């Protein structure tokens, strides 16, 4: 049996799920442990004290920070250099400058003439089954070392070392946590548009090292990371019954999350990872439930008689934003995580869906359908300050990176006759609408960004 077979579910269930998931609906159904860090000190050189960065993210958006990134060597050393450089360049906040690796203390005068504000030096030592990477970050203007660390890890984890170093550079120069040492789970798609095979998949945040987690036998949608451990929740049509499952990334084992009488879908983990909030169909609508992952006890928290779906917790776990058509059209609402009265927060033109709360707590991202096209935007949790970041035939499924500065989302193009010209992929964009770029993930949808090191 393959996923090219249309799932056998009642038409009314299909309609409710299609309403919850937006235009994409049933596309394809016919509609890090082991890293050791030790400090390095620069002999005879001054040290900068840890503190607030002199350059802000807003300043870097306007004028990316010029940073000298000499090659760390050949082979895997060059690969590490390339990943660091790509991480920094692709976020749009840095301008890498190539140079030769200095012997000893860098020539800061030469770097200043290049316009550089910072510089990296280091070396890579291949120890057989492990790598030791010595890394130093310098303030070119003062000539002070502002970071010095040696990282040791298994040889196959060289990409992780590179991402960690890029995170350190980001953090020391911008004053906030980086996000490069993280991953994105998603749905990999293959085959004709009307009969696509879907696989749960995972990749580094830059689109590298992609691998399948499921074999594509059943239609699979909406993966979500557990913020507390290496676990995913997702929806699967296994045995022709759409329900939410849990997938353990360490063991590859799957288990059903609650055997509800209706279809369960749209899962999200609580910030502490101990429970899941999800939607369950009921009659002509759907309700939101929570499931305790220790006891498997379930609790219904909405009963509006409408389609209540796509719940997402606030970072402190006290509130939930969700999508509901209780007012006559799909809009965004906020309520206590325990349930109770809900307050509508979306009042722009069109239908709203796919809400997700930023890990910073300051924004809620959403997709919006108006005049036959999709928009992706953000607003404050009280509904003020709505801003559209990007638009297209379909732009949906937003997910925040760990520091809340970047969104990944699914972008799709329209299809001509027999599906010609259709494409679906994962893009990223800064929360200001700056620097949109496509990830090299192939045909893909439903991204979900991990916390760091997941």
User: How far is CA 426 from each of CA 231, 284, 359, rounded to the nearest angstrom?
Assistant: 21, 32, 20
Q: For residue 32, what pLDDT is reported?
A: 44
* pLDDT tens profile 289-344: 999 999 999 999 999 999 999 999 999 999 999 999 999 999 999 999 999 999 99
Report the percentage of the chain scoring pLDDT > 70: 89
Per-residue pLDDT band for 8 (boundaries 50, 70, 90) equals very low
Q: What is the mean pLDDT of the chain?
A: 90
* pLDDT tens profile 401-441: 999 999 999 999 987 666 666 899 999 999 999 999 999 99
For residues 238-267, average pLDDT:
94
User: How far is CA 453 from each of CA 178, 225, 335, rounded to the nearest angstrom?
Assistant: 12, 12, 31
CA–CA separation, 8 vs 17, rounded Å? 14
Q: Where are the domains of the chain?
A: 11-31+181-449, 36-174
Contact present, 132 and 37 (Cβ < 8 Å)? no
Question: How would you classify residue 161: left for phi > 0, otherwise alpha for psi between -120 and 50, otherwise beta?
Answer: alpha
Contact present, 396 and 367 (Cβ < 8 Å)? yes
Cα dihedral sign, 212-214-217-219: negative
* pLDDT tens profile 113-166: 999 999 999 999 998 899 999 999 999 999 999 999 999 999 999 999 999 999
Which SS3 state, helix, strand or coil, does residue 235 take?
A: strand
Taking the domain 11-31+181-449, which CATH number applies?
2.120.10.30
What homologous superfamily is domain 36-174 in, according to CATH?
Answer: TolB, N-terminal domain (3.40.50.10070)
Q: How many residues does the chain have?
A: 454
More confident residue, 60 or 307: 307
Per-residue pLDDT band for 27 (boundaries 50, 70, 90) equals very low
Q: For residue 31, what pLDDT is reported?
A: 28
Q: For residue 452, what pLDDT is reported?
A: 82
Contacts of 175-178 with C-beta under 8 Å, sequence gap 24+, read: 175/52, 175/53, 175/55, 175/56, 176/53, 176/57, 176/403, 176/405, 177/402, 177/403, 177/452, 178/403
CA–CA separation, 415 vs 393, rounded Å? 10
Q: For residue 419, what pLDDT is reported?
A: 61
Provide, for the chain, the percentages of residues in helix, strand and coil under a 3-state DSSP scheme, each rounded to the nearest 5.
15, 40, 45
User: How far is CA 33 from each of CA 37, 152, 159, 179, 454, rounded to the nearest angstrom?
Assistant: 12, 11, 14, 17, 10
Q: Is the pLDDT of residue 386 over 70?
A: yes
Per-residue pLDDT band for 24 (boundaries 50, 70, 90) equals very low
Per-residue pLDDT band for 370 (boundaries 50, 70, 90) equals very high
More confident residue, 290 or 15: 290
More confident residue, 38 or 115: 115
Contact present, 431 and 91 (Cβ < 8 Å)? no
Give the H/E segment covering residue 68. strand 65-68
Q: For residue 406, what pLDDT is reported?
A: 98
Per-residue pLDDT band for 4 (boundaries 50, 70, 90) equals very low
């Amino acid at each position: 049996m393959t996923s090219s077979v249309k799932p056998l579910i009642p038409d009314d269930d299909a309609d409710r799920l299609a309403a919850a998931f937006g235009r994409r609906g049933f596309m394809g159904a016919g509609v890090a442990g082991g890293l050791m860090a030790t400090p390095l000190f620069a002999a005879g050189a001054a040290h900068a004290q840890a503190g607030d960065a002199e350059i802000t993210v807003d300043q870097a958006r306007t004028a990316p920070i010029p940073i000298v990134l000499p090659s760390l060597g050949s082979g895997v050393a060059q690969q590490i250099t390339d990943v660091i450089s790509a991480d920094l360049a692709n976020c749009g906040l840095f301008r890498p400058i190539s140079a030769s690796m200095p012997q000893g203390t860098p020539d800061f005068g030469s770097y200043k003439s290049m316009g550089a504000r910072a510089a990296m030096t280091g070396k890579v030592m291949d120890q057989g089954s492990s790598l030791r990477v010595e890394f130093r970050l310098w303030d070119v203007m003062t000539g002070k070392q502002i970071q010095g660390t040696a990282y040791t890890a298994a040889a196959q984890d060289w990409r992780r070392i590179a991402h960690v170093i890029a995170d350190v550079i980001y953090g020391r120069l911008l004053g906030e946590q980086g996000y490069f040492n993280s991953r994105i789970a998603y749905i990999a798609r293959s085959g004709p548009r009307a009969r696509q095979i879907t696989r749960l998949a995972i990749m580094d945040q830059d689109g590298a090292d992609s691998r399948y987690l499921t074999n594509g036998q059943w239609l699979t949608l909406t993966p979500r990371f557990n913020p507390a451990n290496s676990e995913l929740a997702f929806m699967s049509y296994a045995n022709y019954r759409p329900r939410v499952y849990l997938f353990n990334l360490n063991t590859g084992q799957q288990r059903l999350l609650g055997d509800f009488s209706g279809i369960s879908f749209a899962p999200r983990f609580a910030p502490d990872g101990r429970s899941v909030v999800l939607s369950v169909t009921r009659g002509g609508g759907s309700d939101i439930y929570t499931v305790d992952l220790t006891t498997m006890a379930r609790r219904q928290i909405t009963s509006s008689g409408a389609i209540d779906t796509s719940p997402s917790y606030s970072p402190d776990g006290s509130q939930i934003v969700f999508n509901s058509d209780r007012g006559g059209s799909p809009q965004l609402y906020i309520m206590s995580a325990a349930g109770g009265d809900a307050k509508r927060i979306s009042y722009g033109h069109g239908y709203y869906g796919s809400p997700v709360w930023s890990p910073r707590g300051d924004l809620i991202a959403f997709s919006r359908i108006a005049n036959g096209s999709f928009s992706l935007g953000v607003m404050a949790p009280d509904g003020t300050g709505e801003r559209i970041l990007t638009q297209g035939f379909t732009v949906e499924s937003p997910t925040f990176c760990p520091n809340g500065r970047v969104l990944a989302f699914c972008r799709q193009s329209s299809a001509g006759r027999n599906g010609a010209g259709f494409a679906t992929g994962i893009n990223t964009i800064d929360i200001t609408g700056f620097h949109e770029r496509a990830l090299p993930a192939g045909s893909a949808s439903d991204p979900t960004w991990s916390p760091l090191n997941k």
